[in-house]
Each structure stands twice: as structure tokens, then as C-alpha cells.
Amino acid sequence: MSRILAIVGRPNVGKSTLFNRLTESREAIVDEVSGVTRDRNYGKSEWNGKVFSVIDTGGYVVNSGDVFEAEINKQVHLAIDEADVILFVVDVELGITDLDDAVAAILRRSGKKVVVTVNKVDNNQRIPDAQEFYGLGLGEIFCISSMTGSGTGDMLDQVINSFAETSGSDEEHELPYLSVVGRPNVGKSSFINTLLGEERYIVTDIAGTTRDSIHTRYNKFGHDFVIIDTAGLRKKGKVHDDIEFYSVLRSVRTIESSDVCLLLVDATRGMEAQDVNVFNLIVRNKKGVVILVNKWDLIEKDGYSTRQVEAEIRERIAPFTDVPIIFISAKTKQRVHKALDIAMQVFKNRKNRIKTSKLNEVLLEAVETYPPPSVKGKYIKIKYVTQLPSPTPAFALFANLPQYIREPYKRYIENKIRENFDFTGVPIQVYFRQK
């Protein structure tokens, strides 16, 4: 299920500080000078077991009379168009301003779920001042301090409840959803046109031709699924115009609602930083992934080319390297149908369930061969393993001292799972719990 939370509001009310707190990062630059946020920031957040995307929609600030109309207005319209829930941030120190009223008017007309968040309520003496914001006509208000984190728990409870109320249209789909993602102009539309055997999508040399995410039913050669062409995901610093910002929003949503993502990489350019960013976005969303190296027909090859490029890609995407890499050409149809077969196998791997008895037989032997390192003279004993009843592969190992088990040992267990069971192309989670 896709969940997108957009943070909106006038400049310098603390949106970026709140974004950093929700995503537990420092991706958004924070400064007392208004208008610092010029690129849109995307991140993941989790509350009470619910994971959702967070978008910081800070815009430019210019010293003119039409600052709202020129910047804030566009940002708010784009955010509310794609977001499921809007977090409207206001500042208790200045009270309701004309810009706050203007944003509130747009939000009221949108019909979207809105959570009004009164920021900078750093002490109880400011709570009475916050009551003024009921005058915006957007329902209950939540007093928080994005700097200290106070009050954010109640606010997030309301956000999660609002997601639950808007999830009616996000029903589980019956058919597998495969999305074609990657940087702009890497050949995504050409790949789908080749699969469908018709010029369904416009193809040009201009990056950004595809602006929307387009769903198409594919029912050929024993396969039946929905394939989605997405707009290219590029660096945030290069996302200048508002249509492209909208396209990136749609691409993020598409990845979240997919089962398997086909990540296209340009063979003439190799695996670049933005390709790795898209790959990490897929993994963070726990989606199946297949890497397709497109335009392979344009490369001068020798007997070592394939192995060399494959090794370079696996080095870039480490530590999750159990990913199929296929060299294709959408133009000459080289290995295009093999890519589909592999993608559908990854979809099956994502649904793979391992019997508890078989898991314990394999992993307890691995633990006995290489037990967790002792910490402070305490020996860690793992007694039992089970696969969790989650939509994506996740495993719980019960131990006497799970808090002392470090990341390298978690990777060791994950590698043993992959060695013995087929989870190729699928991110898996390993948890250690108190027995």
C-alpha cells in the first residue's frame, strides 16, 4: 500500500527540521534564513509499524509581493495532488498570517486529509497561543516542537489514522505489478514498446518525455501481469520544473505500489550514482528488483565484458548483491523476454515461505558452526528461527541476548538464508528477538 505524507506551509515555519526528525536524517538543510529549502526532499518514516514516504515541499523565497502565488501556491498544489495526507505546519510565534490563510483555503478545497501542526510550542505557556489556529477551519490542531520532538507522537498517531481512512482505493491487486524505473532517457518506454509489440508510448531522445506513470496489462507467453512505465528519477538538484516534480512523485508512488521493479541502466554510461539511489529506494521499500543493462548492442564487447560490467554493478550495490543482472537491448529485442521470465521468478521468490523445521535445521547448524561473538564475557545463544507472517520475507531468530548481536552477524545469517533458499532479487529482513 502506498502512503505519502507531504509537509506544506509557508517559509521558515520549521518544515525541514520536522522532515529531518520524521526521517531520522539530516537530508534537509536547516537554517534560520527563510527559503533555504530549494530542492524537494524525499524520505521514509515509520510509526507504530506503519512505513510511509515523507516529502518536504519547501520552495524558493523571493522578496516580491507575489511570493505566495509564484512559489508556495505551486508547491502546495503539486503536493496535495499526489499526497494521501497533508501535514500543514504553522508557526505559533507569528500566529495566523495571510500566507497561512491562503494555504488553508487551498487545503480546504482539496478534500484531502489535513493534519494541522503548530510548531515551536516549546513550553506549556505557548499552548494557549496555539488555539488561534482553530480559526483556519481545518479541524484539530497538534502542538509540537520539531526541534525537541515534543508532541510529535500524538501528531503521528493522527497521521497514521488518516492514512487508514484514505486507504480504501489502495486495495491489494490480484495481478503482479512490475514497474520499469531508472534515470531519464535510459530506454524505459522503448523496452515496454518492445514487450507489447507496438508503439504504445512516445519515445524521443529528449530526457523526460514520459511525465506520468502508465499502467498496461500484459498477457502473453504464459505471463499475466500489469507493467508500469514511469518518469525518469533524476537527482533532486536537477528537478527544476513543477511538472517534473510531479513526475518524480508519481515514480516514488509507483515503486511503493509495485511488486517487482525492473531497474534499467544505460550500458554506455554504466551504473551511476543516481542508479544506485533508485536501487536503494527500491530496497528500502522491500520490492523485488531486477537490473537490466540496456543498450548492450552499442557496446564493443570481448569475452570478459559481461563479467566485468556485472562485477562493477555488484560492487556498487553491495551489500545486497543477490540480484539478477541481465544485458538487454530494447532496440534489437535482445534478451527482453528473458528479462520478463526472471522478473516473474523474482515475484515468486518474494512470496516464498520456508517451513519452520527446515529453517531451524539449516540455520541452527550455521549458528553452531559460527556462533555470535561473545560480548563482555557473555555468550549469545540462538535457540529458534521462524519466518514472520509478513508480506515480504522476514525472519526472526530468538536469542538470550539479542541486543548484543551486531550487523556483521546479521549479514552472515542473511547470506546463509540466501545460500540455502531462493530469495534472489528480493530484500529480506533478519530480526533478533528475546527468546
pLDDT band at 74 (very low <50, low <70, confident <90, very high): low
Asked if residue 184 has a cis previous peptide bond (ω within 30° of 0), the answer is no
- The CA–CA distances, whole Å, from 87 to 15, 117, 243 equal 9, 7, 22
User: Is residue 47 a known part of a binding site?
Assistant: no
Determine the Cα–Cα distance for residues 276 and 406; give it in Å rounded to an integer: 25
User: Is residue 124 a known part of a binding site?
Assistant: no
User: Is residue 182 a known part of a binding site?
Assistant: yes
User: Is residue 120 a known part of a binding site?
Assistant: yes
- Could you give all domains of the chain from N- to C-terminal order, each with its CATH number? 4-162 (3.40.50.300), 177-351 (3.40.50.300), 356-434 (3.30.300.20)
User: Is residue 87 a known part of a binding site?
Assistant: no
Concatenate the DSSP letters of all residues of 190-245 into one string: HHHHHHHTS--S---SSTT---S-EEEEEEETTEEEEEEE-PPP--GGG--SHHHH
Question: Pairing mode, if any, of strands 214-220 and 41-47?
Answer: unpaired
* Model pLDDT, residue 75: 59
User: Is residue 349 a known part of a binding site?
Assistant: no
User: Is residue 16 a known part of a binding site?
Assistant: yes
User: Is residue 230 a known part of a binding site?
Assistant: yes
User: Is residue 122 a known part of a binding site?
Assistant: yes
pLDDT digits (tens, 9 = 90+) for 24-68: 765 443 433 334 333 456 677 888 878 888 888 764 344 445 444
User: Is residue 188 a known part of a binding site?
Assistant: yes
* Model pLDDT, residue 35: 40
Q: What is the CA radius of gyration of the chain?
A: 24
pLDDT digits (tens, 9 = 90+) for 231-288: 545 444 544 444 444 445 666 777 888 899 999 999 999 998 878 888 888 898 899 9
User: Is residue 316 a known part of a binding site?
Assistant: no
Is the pLDDT assigned to residue 377 strictly greater than 50? yes
User: Is residue 295 a known part of a binding site?
Assistant: yes
* Helices (H) then strands (E): counts for the chain: 13, 15
User: Is residue 61 a known part of a binding site?
Assistant: no
- Using an 8 Å Cβ cutoff, are 298 and 330 in contact? no
Residue 190 neighbours by CB under 8 Å, 6+ apart: 203, 330, 331
Determine the Cα–Cα distance for residues 420 and 44; give it in Å rounded to an integer: 31
User: Is residue 84 a known part of a binding site?
Assistant: no
Is the pLDDT assigned to residue 203 strictly greater than 60? no
User: Is residue 297 a known part of a binding site?
Assistant: yes
Cα diameter, the chain: 74
How high does pLDDT run on average in the chain?
A: 81
Neighbour order of strands in the sheet with 113-119: 41-47, 50-56, 4-8, 85-91, 113-119, 141-143
| Position with higher pLDDT, 183 vs 77 | 183
- Residue 208: CB atoms within 10 Å: 15
pTM passes above 0.75 = no
Strand-pairing partners, residue 180, are 229, 262
User: Is residue 137 a known part of a binding site?
Assistant: no
User: Is residue 296 a known part of a binding site?
Assistant: yes
Strand-pairing partners, residue 325, are 291
User: Is residue 396 a known part of a binding site?
Assistant: no
